[in-house]
Homo-oligomer: A and B are copies of this chain.
Amino acid sequence: MKETHAIPGYTFGTRAIARSPVTLGDFELMKRSILFDDEDVKYLRLSRGIVADQVEAILDVWYGFVGSQPHLLASFTDRADGKPLGDYLGAVRKRFGQWILDTAAAEYDQRWLDYQHEIGLRHHRAKKNHTDGAASTAIVPFRDLFPLIYPVTFTLRPFLASKGHAAGDVEKMYAAWLKSCLLQMTLWTYPYIKDGDF
């Protein structure tokens, strides 16, 4: 949640970020729709100490999954010759690592909300490739965004369980991650939605 100047393009909390069209009040109602409460905040924060020193291993699993599926990897390829763009993959990976820590920090203020909108714009044709000057495809298609939540949270589970926490606590951390991803992805997909339909 800090301004981590060490990560190129990670502009959380800076003036480069526009205000989210979704209000904190809207977000409160979305939390109610998904039964997200203080318990979830507690279990996300509990997970922070568990995932903090495993970020690279987690990213290896997630990148391995995306890399193994041509229709997913396509979003990281050169739009001219279809080859994976190593620099682009590497630059996004650093911000993805920070996102793991931010998700586990579970601090939902206006700056957080604004950055969720920015992450959405970066998947959408509005701003994909801009941050890293990548010569990649124009948009991450909507159809794969929500489905990817399952592999991401499911493969996180063994990491959550890797430090000896009780099975019930691991289960609650997993549920909190699943809910948080569904909420975030909903915020992220705002730019994909027709005006007035969000």
Which of under 10, 10 to 19, 20 to 34, or 35 or more describes the interface residues of A?
35 or more
CB pair B143–A182 under 8 Å, yes or no, is: no
Which chain B residues border A22 with CB–CB below 8 Å? 143
- Encoded as 1 (CB less than 8 Å from any B CB) or 0, chain A from 93 to 132 comes to 0000000000000000000000000000000110000000
Chain B: CB-nearest residue to A69: B32
Which chain B residues border A143 with CB–CB below 8 Å? 22, 26, 29-30, 33, 186, 198
| A183 CB-CB contact with B under 8 Å | yes
Cβ 8 A contact of A182, one of B29, B71, B150: B150
Q: Known contacts being A182-B147, A183-B147, is A124 close to B71, with CB within 8 Å?
A: no
- Encoded as 1 (CB less than 8 Å from any B CB) or 0, chain A from 118 to 154 comes to 0000001100000000000001011110111111001
- Encoded as 1 (CB less than 8 Å from any B CB) or 0, chain A from 21 to 38 comes to 010001001101111000
Docked CA distance A105–B80 (Å): 43
Q: Give the shortest distance, in Å, between A3 (CB) and chain B (any CB).
A: 29
Chain B: CB-nearest residue to A148: B33
Which chain B residues border A50 with CB–CB below 8 Å? none
Q: Known contacts being A33-B147, A35-B151, A71-B32, is A192 close to B197, with CB within 8 Å?
A: yes
Q: Please give me the 7 A-B residue pairs with the lowest Cβ-Cβ distance, nearest first.
A: A34-B147, A33-B147, A33-B144, A34-B150, A192-B197, A29-B71, A142-B198
A residues contacting B by CB (< 8 A) are 22, 26, 29-30, 32-35, 69, 71-72, 124-125, 139, 141-144, 146-151, 154, 175, 178-179, 182-183, 185-186, 189, 192-194, 197-198
